[in-house]
């Protein structure tokens, strides 16, 4: 019995669990499977944990945190490959779990199975069952019973490349019985009919590797392990530095093509190169060549390296995708396409989901299009997975990610044994592949809208007939066809990439409808992020006054994230007595109306490309927080016309008009500050009463300026949000930066607060600027309690001085609007009353308080 206990301990069980399982189940494999399913999790470890030490000290240290695949010696395999003085365990893939952590302090990977406790409780058991079946015992002939012994080296050896591994499997999968000469599959033991096809003429539909689901589970497990390892190697060594120091002994590098090798990241051509030759200066730095003088050669080199790595990753993904279950395979579906092994979903969720999640979280559509070799292949994977009923549900499944890791201090046993490494890992469900893809779909739609440039306003559409509605519903989710007469090569590249993203989303949704049903797709669609427009329902949110602060904050964040970016109609309605002419451009509710009208019929490809890239980023990356957020509204037909509402300190909304001119982004955008009380108030040393915004990025202030092709509108918005709309604006004035907390600074802030209450709060609430009425009302409604408390503090700290119209001169006693009471208390009382009405479900619009109801 001690031998069986040792086997179970080496698999990851405790001694107490092993003894209890063996008392109930005589078979070791059955006992192991029940342990993995959690049937003995309630049994305490006790003092017996050290009574049967593991033969492998590394595995002994990690046994408390992971289930480890059992390893065996295989002398026949050693003789075939050649031995060295490294551990034999390194030559095989850990089939049923992730790679072990080699260094607790440096590695970002976690060696605990995030899906071990999921509802699919048998997942770990399926993995172990297939592994144990194919490394132990014998494979009997289905005709006469003659058996051929199996070894770990037959299916689970790691080779130098996936292509070599597949070639090796083709050689061993067909076995001919020495007794009856029947040919059968070495993986499942079933007969293989038909002659062996020569390698040179082999096609996918006559490949022996599609004979059974066992082979499918093996290939996906080993192939995805290679894919994941390659991806993590590229992340750890993004620029392929040449002066890399090896941390392990070098194995033989001249194997026969069918000889397995260690999956060693240092053996990759891109990650292990010879040391730099003496006398030649090695390049340092990130993104540049590391010279004293900055240039772009380093960037070009880094880009070339990234492209090479993407091509290598995409090639491996393409080779492995052939073995995904697919009923739409060219030439017809095969056996393993119909009989999907239970481990296929487990492998994809454990390994591919992490890679998929990382790639889809890329917030730069431009970067994605430049890395098209790997992203196009990723889209092929997503479509293939969604096409099969056994895998389609993975599109909506949350991806398990690590939220926190806590390491426990190890304790050495009383008998001197090595301490156990204990770690508590908390996993949480993150967005699934389809939800992550929708964020990119939003960016792609925004980019296409930018590439379209200036478009004429579409005529009003008459009410559709029932037949038209039915046809429209049948094409739900399909992107409308876009025609662009003149488009540059770079614009065309981005446009085609965006179209590929949209077609992938449409194909996935169509497959989900066919395989999982309409209701399933509806639930998925409801959970997807969306970009609202002026045609959407009201964006106002109501919440009870009894709601807790945590609930209010959560509601505010969800609401702000949903409505931070929208398309809307910013045109000025044409008077009924003056119908518009076809050639006359419309007017806009916009400071730069004349500039916009002058570019009404322009077609500037470089400008369109720059705007497309901007919109792709802005749709999903505008900052949202309880203390400060940015909301954008873009005209539906003129994406160069933008209005921004930036929530400053203490929840104060400020309005800006933004125009992307004819030479954008060779030059910065035009930005005008609009919350000025009719050009009377200067709220900040960098915000003038006439609307001028002083910022180095805009060329209106000293400092780092706009960089053509690199600087972005998002940088401008965040700079205004963080650097100008600050809590102590007095310090923004040149020469006053060291005056924090001085009487002058305090007086300046008190004067600003009076203007803020009168104009930015009370004025915006009574007469909200178009098109931010719903945003301002909901903002003040959800933050009513915190703003009311802030108003009480402002009133208590007010100095009683009259309000100065020029904040910069407040501390000097100039520019007062009057010499009597400053009116702050009256403004706060009115604002408090309006906040109470908002909380009670009323509205606050109009120019006088009596109009608020």
Catalytic residues: 694
Coil, strand or helix at 684: strand
First to last CA, the chain: 82
Give the separation between CA 728 and CA 548, rounded to whole angstroms. 30
Residue with tokens 């930005």: 671
> Please, which contacts does 813-822 make with residues 24 or more away whose CB atoms are closer than 8 Å?
822/754, 822/798
Give the separation between CA 705 and CA 701, rounded to whole angstroms. 9
Coil, strand or helix at 845: coil
DSSP 253: S
Question: For residues 260 and 166, is the Cβ–Cβ distance under 8 A?
Answer: no
Could you give the angle at which helices 353-360 and 372-386 cross, rounded to 10 degrees? 130
Give the separation between CA 337 and CA 54, rounded to whole angstroms. 40
Give the separation between CA 543 and CA 26, rounded to whole angstroms. 61
Question: For residues 320 and 368, is the Cβ–Cβ distance under 8 A?
Answer: no
Give the separation between CA 297 and CA 558, rounded to whole angstroms. 43
Question: For residues 599 and 564, is the Cβ–Cβ distance under 8 A?
Answer: no
Of all residues in the chain, what percent are helix, strand and coil, respectively (each to 5)? Answer: 45, 10, 45
Give the separation between CA 96 and CA 68, rounded to whole angstroms. 8
Helix/strand/coil (H/E/C) assignment for every residue in 582-651: CCCCCCECCCCHHHHHHCCCCCCHHHHHHHHHHHHHHHHHCCCCCCCCEEEEEECCCCCEEEEEEEEHHH
Question: For residues 430 and 399, is the Cβ–Cβ distance under 8 A?
Answer: yes
Question: For residues 688 and 724, is the Cβ–Cβ distance under 8 A?
Answer: no
Coil, strand or helix at 489: helix
Question: For residues 424 and 408, is the Cβ–Cβ distance under 8 A?
Answer: yes
Q: For residues 95-120, b (16+ Cβ closer than 10 Å) or e, as one string?
A: bbbbbbbeeeeeeeebbbbbbbebee
Give the separation between CA 586 and CA 454, rounded to whole angstroms. 12
Residue with tokens 């093509």: 257
Q: How distant, in Å, are the alpha carbons of 376, 728, 734, 836 from that of 615?
A: 22, 32, 34, 37
Residue with tokens 């479509």: 383
Q: For residues 368-383, b (16+ Cβ closer than 10 Å) or e, as one string?
A: bbbbbbbbbbbbbbbb
Residue with tokens 């509605």: 469
Question: For residues 698 and 715, is the Cβ–Cβ distance under 8 A?
Answer: no
Question: For residues 646 and 653, is the Cβ–Cβ distance under 8 A?
Answer: yes
Tokens of 741: 């907390």
Give the separation between CA 291 and CA 108, rounded to whole angstroms. 31
* CA neighbours closer than 13 Å in the CB half-sphere of residue 321: 22
| Cα dihedral value 795, 796, 800, 806, nearest 10 | -50
Give the separation between CA 539 and CA 775, rounded to whole angstroms. 7
Give the separation between CA 453 and CA 456, rounded to whole angstroms. 10
Question: For residues 69 and 129, is the Cβ–Cβ distance under 8 A?
Answer: no
* CA neighbours closer than 13 Å in the CB half-sphere of residue 626: 12
């Amino acid at each position: 019995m001690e031998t069986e206990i040792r086997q179970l301990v080496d698999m990851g069980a405790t001694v107490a669990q092993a003894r209890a399982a063996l008392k109930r189940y005589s078979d070791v494999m059955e006992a192991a499977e029940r342990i993995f399913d959690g049937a003995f999790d309630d049994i305490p470890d006790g003092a017996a944990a050290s009574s049967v030490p593991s033969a492998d000290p590394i595995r002994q240290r990690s046994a408390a945190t992971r289930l480890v695949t059992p390893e065996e010696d295989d002398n026949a395999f050693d003789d075939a490959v050649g031995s060295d003085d490294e551990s034999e365990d390194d030559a095989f893939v850990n089939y049923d779990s992730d790679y072990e952590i080699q260094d607790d302090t440096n590695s970002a990977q976690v060696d605990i199975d995030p899906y071990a406790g999921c509802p699919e409780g048998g997942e770990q058991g399926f993995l172990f069952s297939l592994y144990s079946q194919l490394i132990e015992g014998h494979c009997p002939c289905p005709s006469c019973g003659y058996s051929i012994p199996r070894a770990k080296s037959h299916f689970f050896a790691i080779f130098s490349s996936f292509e070599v591994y597949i070639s090796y499997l083709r050689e061993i999968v067909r076995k001919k019985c020495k007794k009856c000469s029947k040919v059968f599959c070495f993986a499942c033991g079933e007969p293989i009919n038909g002659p062996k096809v020569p390698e040179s003429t082999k096609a996918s539909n006559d490949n022996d590797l599609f004979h059974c689901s066992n082979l499918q589970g093996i290939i996906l497990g080993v192939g995805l392990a290679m894919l994941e390892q390659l991806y993590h190697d590229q992340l750890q060594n993004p620029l392929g530095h040449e002066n890399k120091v090896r941390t392990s002994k070098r194995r033989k590098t001249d194997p026969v093509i069918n000889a397995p090798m260690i999956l060693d990241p240092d053996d990759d051509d891109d990650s292990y190169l010879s040391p730099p030759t003496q006398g030649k200066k090695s390049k340092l730095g990130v993104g540049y060549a590391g010279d004293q003088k900055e240039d772009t050669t380093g960037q070009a080199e880094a880009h070339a390296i990234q492209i090479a790595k993407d091509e290598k990753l995409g090639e491996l993904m393409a080779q492995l995708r052939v073995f995904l279950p697919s009923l739409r395979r060219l030439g017809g579906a095969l056996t393993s396409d119909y009989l999907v092994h239970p481990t296929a979903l487990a492998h994809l969720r454990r390994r591919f989901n992490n890679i998929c999640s990382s790639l889809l979280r890329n917030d730069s559509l431009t970067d994605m299009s430049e890395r098209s070799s790997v992203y196009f292949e990723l889209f092929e994977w997503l479509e293939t997975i969604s096409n099969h009923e056994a895998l389609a549900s993975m599109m909506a499944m949350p991806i398990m990610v690590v939220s926190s890791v806590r390491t426990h201090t190890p304790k050495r046993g009383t008998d001197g044994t090595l301490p156990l490494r204990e770690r508590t890992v908390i996993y949480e469900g993150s967005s699934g592949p389809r939800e992550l893809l929708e964020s990119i779909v939003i960016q792609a739609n925004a980019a296409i809208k930018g590439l379209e440039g200036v478009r004429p306003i579409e005529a009003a559409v008459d009410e559709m007939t029932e037949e038209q509605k039915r046809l429209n519903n049948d094409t739900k989710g399909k992107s409308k066809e876009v025609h662009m007469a003149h488009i540059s090569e770079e614009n065309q590249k981005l446009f085609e990439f965006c179209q590929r993203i949209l077609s992938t989303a449409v194909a996935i949704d169509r497959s989900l409808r066919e395989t999982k049903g309409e209701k399933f797709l509806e639930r998925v669609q409801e959970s997807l992020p969306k970009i609202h427009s002026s045609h959407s329902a009201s964006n106002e949110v109501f919440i009870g006054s009894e709601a807790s602060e945590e609930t209010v904050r959560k509601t505010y964040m969800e609401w702000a994230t949903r409505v931070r970016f929208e398309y809307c109609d910013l045109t000025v309605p044409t008077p009924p007595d003056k119908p518009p002419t076809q050639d006359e451009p419309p007017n806009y509710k916009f400071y730069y109306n004349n500039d916009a009208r002058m570019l009404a019929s322009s077609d500037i490809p470089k400008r369109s490309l720059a705007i497309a890239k901007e919109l792709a980023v802005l749709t999903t990356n505008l900052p949202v927080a309880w203390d400060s957020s940015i909301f954008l509204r873009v005209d539906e037909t003129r994406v160069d016309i933008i209005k921004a509402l930036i929530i400053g300190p203490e929840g104060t909304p400020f309005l800006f008009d933004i125009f992307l001119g004819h030479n954008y982004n060779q030059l910065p955008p035009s930005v005008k500050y609009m919350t000025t009380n009719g050009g009377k108030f200067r709220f900040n040393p960098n915000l003038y009463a006439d609307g001028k915004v002083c910022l180095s990025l805009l060329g209106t202030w000293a400092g780092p300026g706009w960089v053509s092709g690199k600087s972005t509108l998002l940088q401008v918005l965040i700079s205004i949000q963080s650097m100008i709309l600050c809590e102590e604006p007095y310090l923004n004035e040149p020469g006053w930066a060291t005056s924090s907390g001085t009487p002058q600074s305090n007086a300046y802030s008190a004067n600003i607060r009076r203007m803020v209450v009168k104009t930015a709060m009370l004025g915006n609430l009574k007469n909200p600027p178009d098109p931010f009425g719903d945003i301002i009302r909901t903002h003040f409604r959800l933050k009513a309690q915190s703003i009311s408390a802030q108003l009480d503090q402002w009133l208590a700290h007010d100095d009683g001085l009259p309000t100065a119209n020029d904040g910069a001169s407040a501390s000097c006693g100039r520019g007062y609007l009057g010499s009597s009471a400053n009116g702050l208390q009256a403004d706060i009382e009115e604002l408090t009353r309006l906040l109470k009405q908002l909380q009670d479900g009323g509205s606050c619009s109009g120019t006088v308080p009596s109009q608020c109801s």
